[in-house]
Amino acid sequence: MSNGTTRIAGTIITYGFVGLMAFLSIFPFVWMLLGATNSSIDIIKGRMMPGSALATNIATFFTQVNAPLVFWNSAKIAILATVLTLAVSSLAGYGFEMFRSRHRDRIYSAMLITMMIPFAALMIPLFIMMGKAGLINTHIAVVLPTIGSAFIVFYFRQTTKAFPSELRDAAKVDGLKEWQIFLFIYVPVMRSTYAAAFIIVFMTAWNNYLWPLIVLQSNEQKTITLVISSLASAYYPDYGVVMVGTILATLPTLAVFFFMQRQFVQGMLGSVK
């Protein structure tokens, strides 16, 4: 085979492979969007055209599910978890990077090891703790154990290395206290780091399933993830309605991703370096 033919064959294989992978990645989304417009029977039959059942599906979804409440529950948990995690972790990341002291590195390493602790090993003690504190079936119980995140502390410490120490020194000369430097200089300067961390933590909190499944017991407290899971586990699930639910559950994270794609990718990259 001549060199030219090999190259053309290589190009065809490359595009074929990458194209197929992209198609397979997107297909479930397309199926979900089309599904929301079709009846359950048409979806099962594999109809891949827009249908006329969208209004019916939405109406059924809203009669079966108290959508505004469920959506609000998810949003409340995700935003609360994100704001608190970002505050606590950025303080710690700043502290670990800026202050030298004995045992600092040892404590930091010990903290990083906690990233390896699987949640399954924590859920029973956590459940009992929440029970004793009278917090079962509350959103606080969902949020509390997620705030202290070694991974996000690590992420903030890594990115703090890029924070110019001249700024800090200048502020000290001007007589600012440490907390003022943090609040009025560090936070504004590091806003893109905060943006990236926001996306990561928000998505994790919005999509969290196992812990809310354990802690949230009444329907009034449930999140959208719990609700679509229970819709889909019916003996004969109404797939059109399930699709409306999955779209609503995916929309916020999808929107966050598309609006903040750049920071998101950079945030992921920041954690490798």
Q: Which of residues 19-58 bind other proteins (CB under 8 A)?
A: 19, 21-22, 24-26, 28-29, 31-32, 35, 43-46, 48
Rounded to a whole number of angstroms, the minimum distance from the CB of residue 257 to other proteins is 5
CB of 98 to other proteins, least distance (A): 6
Given the complex with other proteins, which of 102 and 188 has the nearer CB atom? Answer: 102
Q: Please name the residue that has the structure tokens 């490359």.
A: 14
Compute the least distance from the CB of residue 92 to other proteins, in Å.
4
By CB under 8 A, residue 249 contacts other proteins: yes
Q: For other proteins, which residue of 8, 9, 18, 59 counts as binding (CB under 8 A)? A: 18
We find the least distance from the C-beta atom of residue 127 to other proteins, in angstroms, to be: 8
Size of site (CB under 8 A) for other proteins? 82
Residue 265 CB, nearest approach to other proteins (Å): 6
**234: helix, strand or coil:** coil
Q: Are 90 and 187 in contact (CB under 8 A)?
A: yes
Q: Do residues 97 and 161 lie in contact, with contact meaning Cβ atoms separated by under 8 Å?
A: yes
The verdict on 170 binding other proteins (CB under 8 A) reads no
Can you give the C-alpha Rg of the chain in angstroms?
24
- The least distance separating other proteins from the CB of residue 249, rounded to whole angstroms, comes to 5
DSSP 92-132: HHHHHHH---TTHHHHHHHHHHGGGS-GGGTHHHHHHHHHH
Q: Can residue 62 be called a binding residue for other proteins (CB under 8 A)?
A: no
Footprint (CB under 8 A) of other proteins, residues 71-130: 88-89, 91-92, 94-96, 98-101, 104, 107, 111, 114, 116-129
Interaction pattern, residues 140-159, with other proteins; x per rule: CB under 8 A = ----xx-xx-x--x------
| CB neighbourhood size of 34 (10 A) | 17
Dmax (CA) of the chain: 75
Binding mask 191-230 for other proteins (x = CB under 8 A): ------------x--xx-xx---x----------x--xx-
- 272: burial class by Cβ within 10 Å (0-12, 13-18, 19+)? exposed
Least distance to other proteins, CB of residue 203, Å: 7
Determine which helix (DSSP H) or strand (DSSP E) holds 225, and give its type and residue range.
helix 224-232
Token pair for 88: 């606590």
Give the orientation angle of helix 123-132 with respect to helix 139-147, to 10 degrees. Answer: 130
Between 99 and 166, whose beta carbon lies closer to other proteins?
99
